[in-house]
Structure formats: C-alpha cells, structure tokens
Amino acid sequence: MFERFEQFLVSNGSIASKQIPYYVKRVKDSYTKSDCLPEKILSSDQIKQYLDGLENTREDWQVKQAEQALRLYTFFVSRHGQRPVATTDEGKLWGQILEKMINVMRLKHLSLNTEKTYTTWGRQFQHFVNGKSPNNLTTDDIRTFLSYLAVERRISASTQNQALNADIFPFRHGLEKEVANLDAARAKKKRRLPVVFSVGEVNRIFDVLTLQWKQA
C-alpha cells in the first residue's frame, strides 16, 4: 500500500519529487507507532497523538510535513483502498436524506439555485463514499472528500467552500449530526493583482487635467 501511495504522489504532481520519500516515511512511521494496518485510516486521535510526539523531537516544518502527508494518505486510502459495495437499502436511505435536506432548504426559503447546487454536491459526496450508509458517515468522510477536491480535482478555494457548506447541511439537517475538527487539505486561493495605471498613463491624465485647468 505504501508503494502505491508513493506512485500516487508521483503521478499526482502536487508534491516535489525530492520530498516524496519523506512523505512516505512519515506515513510509515505513524502507522508503525499506531500499530495500524496500512489499509486502514488512522483516527483523528491517532493522528494527533503521532503529531504531538513529533513536536518534541522535530522542527515545526517537519511536523507540518507529516500532517500533510497523513492527509494525503487518508485521501489515498479512501479513494484507492477497498471500499464497501453499496446496497439497495443504503441507496434508499441516501434518497431519504437528500429529500429531507431539500425540505429543510425550502422551509428556510433558500433559492432554487442553492437547492440544485447542494443536491448536486450531496450526490457527488454519496458517489465518493461509494454508497456508504449515511448513518455511518463521520467527519473524517467530509474531510477526505474536501481533500480529494483540493488535491486530485484541484478545484478553487471558493468551490471547495461551496462543497463544504453543501456537505455540512445534510449532516446537520438530515442526520442531525454536528461536524467538528474539520481540517482538510485546502484549495489555494488565487492571488489577484490590483488593476493600476502605469506611470505613463498617470502622467497623461495629469497632462489632460492641467490643460483643462489652464483653459478654464
């Protein structure tokens, strides 16, 4: 599994090639210390315990590197590891949850566009977890989905935030669960340079203003 993870990092291209061995090493170390099989996903407590241990012996950038490596590995296992086969009952339950979500949105008088957007994200999330029963969903499932959107699909930060709001909605209003400690890989915000005049353009504006002032 770790070799496949390394291949995934190489093909994904989100991590510099010279850094990949360190990412794999961090993941291996965490699984060894947690005594967990590579096919399983570490719990939030296991990850926290491992990172807390690193803080005593490693620099901050190494701890952050380990944290990012574990996020990527969690995403990798959830997407490429073995996943349960969806059943008809689970499909019906998903339909009930989405229907309940729609009813709540209409009671809140949300727009039709919001309803369509949230429903679309809800079905994408359902497909992502491969029909997993809504009753068994956890915060880790949302965290992994958001990391997948940022890492593999490379969506914008605004789109990821839209998916986050859409996925939290059925949790709160369909399953009546709260989402806590949500810390996923985040999409990078695009930096927009301000539109400004060049020096020459500014000078031409002053020339025109000066001419108009003299003619007044």
Domain boundaries, the chain: 2-80, 88-173
pLDDT category at 187 given cuts 50, 70, 90 is: very low
Whole-model pTM: value is: 0.48
Residue 210 has pLDDT above 70, yes or no: no
Backbone angles phi, psi at 190, to 5 degrees: -75, 130
Q: Cα(149)–Cα(187) distance, rounded to whole angstroms?
A: 8
Q: Please give, one letter per residue, the 3-state secondary structure of 134-200.
A: HHHCCHHHHHHHHHHHHHCCCCCHHHHHHHHHHHHHHHHHCCCCCCCCCCCCCCCCCCCCCCCCCHH
pLDDT category at 189 given cuts 50, 70, 90 is: very low
Q: Cα dist. 200→194, 210, 211, 214 in Å?
A: 17, 15, 17, 21
Listed range (22-31, 91-100, 152-161) with the worst mean pLDDT: 152-161
Q: pLDDT of 159-183, one tens digit each?
A: 877 888 887 887 787 777 777 665 5
88-173 under CATH 1.10.150.130, yes or no? yes
Average pLDDT of the residues in 208-214 = 61
Q: pLDDT of 52-90, one tens digit each?
A: 999 888 899 999 999 999 988 887 887 665 444 445 577
Greatest pairwise CA separation for the chain in angstroms: 85
Model pLDDT, residue 192: 54
